[in-house]
Structure 1
Amino acid sequence: MLNVVLLGTGNLARHLFEAFSNAKGAKIIQVVGRNLNDLSWFSHHCAVSNDFTEIFAADVYLIAVKDDAIGEVSGFLAEKKGIVAHTSGAMELDVIKAAKKGVFYPLQTFSKGRTVHFKNIPICVEASDNKSLQVLTQLGRSVSDNVQEIDSDQRKKLHLAAVFVNNFTNYLYSVGEALCLENDVSFDLLKPLILETALKVQTMSPKKAQTGPARRNDRESMQMHLELLTDEHKKTLYTLLSTAIKETYEKEL
């Protein structure tokens, strides 16, 4: 059984806590964070503390805080014997100030109030030494069926790819929703299209799956769309994306 201390009380920390609460090979023995109100959510299940000088001894310390705070938080763990691992997709392994350091990055989007199934989530691990890598792999397998060794350079580029396929895509959903609301049309009408788009790339390349007026270089439709858009920001976004799609496929037209 691996004993884990979780540092952080935000969205990811809560999801990790719930995942490990059902794990057979690992147990969170303490949650440490600055916000007492947020700590109260964890206090019914394990020890909590807002004092970073009173952190329990553990096999693994998981840092689930914003990227800019990882280095500072890891400083409180520099003398600990356990493995200190952050959960960021974008930060280097060496941002951690400890002898045994690692990365434990769940590649998924996490939203408050939304349940996710960790068994299907890829866990990307990296470590400063083989023994620590083995421990983090064991920890990952206690909650997920998909644990991958990914180095810092690969992980940063993977995280960049994730921003495109998740963060940017979700923003475009919000633009579509706003257009529907502005014109008294239900956003629900677009949900089957959103679902089919996501399902399609499970079995075929996104490049082959591309459709739409820009893919066909349907100039009249694109001009009509631009005339319908009154917001200059949305016009710029539409033009930028349409141009990128058109230039990608223009040799095939």
Structure 2
Amino acid sequence: MLTVVLIGTGNVAGHLYHQLLLSNTVKLVQVFGRSSEALTPFSEVATTTNYKELYAADVCIIAVKDSAIAEVSKELKHLKGIIVHTSGTQPMSVLNNAKVGVFYPLQTFTKNKQVDFRSIPFLLEANEETTLETLKLLAQEFTENIHLVNSEQRKQLHVAAVLVNNFSNHLFYWAEDLCKEQNLPFAILLPLIKETVAKLETLSPKAAQTGPAVRKDTETMQKHIALLTEPLQKKIYQLMSESIIATYEKKL
């Protein structure tokens, strides 16, 4: 049975924690946190705020913010097991141990919002073959959607993930505000949002594109820009439209 120590108490750590508790072949033996208060939701296993009290385990998962990974790794030099981080952007080289790797779940995690781990891609990287095989076994406890990806590929994927998740969600927020201004429910847009995503199961994003920019309908675009009150929103709308036009101008 693989044993795991989890470093961190944030969103990613919380979701990994609950999933690991369900496993019959992987044992989560301890969670590290910066404070006893932060560790309260992790009470079903041993916890500690002291790096020197960390248990020996086959794998130690660092699930903290990117800027803290290197410093945390320095505190783990006494551990003999595999040390991995869960970052989409940090290279494997930020880890200072003999056996290191990356254990990156490509998904957005929000507190108190359950996710289906079976559908989540896990991107793996390791500095040696035996370490990689161990990480594959660990990943199989979460999903069958496992990919071997190097640090450069993972960085590019993270940019792509920000585009499709963070940026699109901010546009949803912006659209919600526009609805509120007219006393309309944001839910009126949900069928459109769902269809936009559903089409990507059978069409490429390029083939699925619709709207005034792809038709080069400048009159409609100018009317939209005039309706927007924030200068930054006007600029974003203009730049997005220009990007769409540039993508499809040969077709036009």
Q: Report the TM-score range of the alignment, normalised by the length of the smaller protein.
A: over 0.9
Aligned counterpart, 2:240: 241
Deviations 1:196-222 (A, max 9, x none): 111111111000000000010111110
Gaps of 5+ in 2: none
One-letter amino acid matched to 1:84: I
Aligned counterpart, 1:2: 2
Residue 34 of structure 2: SS of its match in structure 1? Answer: coil
Deviations 1:51-107 (A, max 9, x none): 112110000000000000000111111121100000001000000111100000000
CA distance in 2 between counterparts of 1:24 and 1:97 reads: 30
How far does residue 25 in structure 1 lie from its aligned partner after superposition? 2.1
Q: Give the structure-2-normalised TM-score.
A: 0.98
1:131-210, aligned counterparts within 5 Å? 131-210=130-209
Aligned counterpart, 1:96: 95
How far does residue 113 in structure 1 lie from its aligned partner after superposition? 1.4
CA distance in 1 between counterparts of 2:117 and 2:140 reads: 10
Residue 4 of structure 1: SS of its match in structure 2? Answer: strand
Residue 250 of structure 2: SS of its match in structure 1? Answer: helix
- Indicate if the aligned counterparts of 1:90 and 1:156 stay in contact, CA closer than 8 A: yes
Gaps of 5+ in 1: none
Aligned counterpart, 1:13: 13
Q: Percent identity?
A: 49
- Indicate if the aligned counterparts of 1:9 and 1:35 stay in contact, CA closer than 8 A: no
Aligned counterpart, 2:251: 252
Q: Give the structure-1-normalised TM-score.
A: 0.98
Aligned counterpart, 1:48: 47
One-letter amino acid matched to 2:33: G
CA distance in 2 between counterparts of 1:206 and 1:227 reads: 28
- Indicate if the aligned counterparts of 1:75 and 1:97 stay in contact, CA closer than 8 A: yes
One-letter amino acid matched to 1:3: T
- Indicate if the aligned counterparts of 1:25 and 1:139 stay in contact, CA closer than 8 A: no
Residue 48 of structure 1: SS of its match in structure 2? Answer: strand
Residue 194 of structure 2: SS of its match in structure 1? Answer: helix
CA distance in 1 between counterparts of 2:74 and 2:27 reads: 23
CA distance in 2 between counterparts of 1:35 and 1:182 reads: 43
Q: How many corresponding residue pairs?
A: 252
CA distance in 1 between counterparts of 2:193 and 2:73 reads: 40
CA distance in 2 between counterparts of 1:247 and 1:162 reads: 22
Q: CA RMSD in A?
A: 0.8
Please tell me whether residue 67 in structure 1 is matched to residue 63 in structure 2. Answer: no
